[in-house]
């Protein structure tokens, strides 16, 4: 038991450092954006995804452009809400109320924090190219990137915590990471976000996912301590 608790404590320490690093990354990007230091690179990357002779035309075929709209929808509010509800119901059906609560709480906090930060920074959307998707809010940080990182990474972590097969754990994490990266790329490809918006969203969402993992480990450790039988005098 002591060895297990020490391993859990080590993992908690690593997660605290990682979450702090993700938050530092977000606020560092925010500082650079506020000072205008990312504008040149943002514009260069955005235009690199467009036809040089016609900036209104994204590179790639029409079918690829449509595919990017499908991918970007995976990080939209509707899909995120549906996946969160279904995920919570499945956890509850398997009597994993703690997992359901952590999952729902993480997604909700990511949504609220993202919207508050959008209001605070109030960065305009890219105006270099036509938007390939409907937008109605400020640009920084990317809401799709924030929510997809928080939701898919947290879901992967919660599922992996219940999975015994190592290969399945790895597959779940790779699938989640692939979805998060693809959704972020689609936002820049469709011209609705600057690259720095997406990078900041990933950092913020990852911070929430790491915080969720931290809570899961901390609660599990507390239950182990509380549930540990008392040792009678003379027993080792």
Asked if 149 and 217 touch (Cβ cutoff 8 Å), the reply is no
Output the DSSP codes for 84-128.
HHHHHHHHHHTT-HHHHHHHHHHHHHHHHHHHHHHHHH-PPPP-S
Cα separation of 23 and 200, whole Å? Answer: 9
- Please report which confidence band the pLDDT of residue 100 belongs to, taking 50, 70 and 90 as the band edges: very high
pLDDT of residue 228: 47
13 pLDDT more than 90: no
Residues near 180 by Cβ (< 8 Å), separated by ≥ 6? 145, 148, 149, 152, 153, 202, 205
224 pLDDT more than 50: no
- Please report which confidence band the pLDDT of residue 219 belongs to, taking 50, 70 and 90 as the band edges: confident
Query: What are the tokens at 76?
Result: 């939209």
Could you read off the pLDDT of 160-186 as tens digits, one per residue?
Answer: 988 888 888 999 999 999 999 999 999
Instruction: Give the active site residue among 99, 120, 144, 165.
Output: 144
144 noted as active-site residue = yes
pLDDT of residue 3: 57
pLDDT of residue 74: 95
The count of other CB atoms within 10 Å of the CB of residue 157 is: 22
Instruction: Give the active site residue among 94, 131, 193, 218.
Output: 193
pLDDT of residue 220: 62
> What is the value of pTM for the model shown?
0.87
Could you read off the pLDDT of 189-206 as tens digits, one per residue?
Answer: 998 999 999 999 999 999
45 pLDDT more than 80: yes
Average pLDDT for 30-35: 92
What's the mean per-residue pLDDT of the chain? 86
Could you read off the pLDDT of 58-83 as tens digits, one per residue?
Answer: 888 899 999 999 999 999 999 999 99
Of the listed ranges 6-20, 30-44, 125-139, the one predicted with least confidence: 6-20
Cα separation of 46 and 58, whole Å? Answer: 10
Average pLDDT for 206-215: 93
């Amino acid at each position: 038991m002591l060895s297990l608790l020490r391993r859990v404590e080590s993992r908690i320490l690593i997660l605290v450092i990682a979450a702090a690093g993700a938050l530092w990354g977000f606020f560092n990007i925010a500082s650079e954006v506020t000072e205008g230091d990312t504008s040149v690179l943002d514009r260069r990357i955005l235009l690199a995804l467009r036809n040089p002779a016609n900036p209104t035309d994204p590179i790639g075929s029409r079918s690829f452009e449509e595919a990017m709209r499908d991918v970007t929808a995976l990080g939209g509010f509707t899909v995120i809400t549906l996946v969160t509800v279904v995920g919570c119901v499945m956890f509850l059906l398997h009597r994993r109320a703690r997992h359901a609560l952590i999952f729902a709480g993480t997604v909700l906090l990511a949504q609220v924090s993202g919207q508050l930060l959008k209001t605070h920074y109030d960065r305009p959307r890219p105006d270099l190219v036509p938007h390939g998707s409907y937008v109605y809010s400020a640009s920084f940080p990317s809401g799709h990137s924030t929510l997809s990182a928080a939701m898919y990474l947290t879901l992967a972590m919660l599922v992996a915590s219940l999975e015994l097969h190592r290969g399945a754990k790895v597959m779940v994490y790779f699938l989640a990471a692939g979805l998060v990266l693809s959704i972020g790329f689609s936002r820049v490809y469709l011209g609705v976000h600057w690259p720095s918006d997406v990078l900041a969203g990933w950092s913020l969402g990852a911070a929430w996912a790491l915080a969720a993992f931290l809570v899961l480990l901390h609660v599990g450790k507390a239950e182990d301590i509380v549930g540990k039988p008392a040792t009678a005098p003379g027993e080792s």
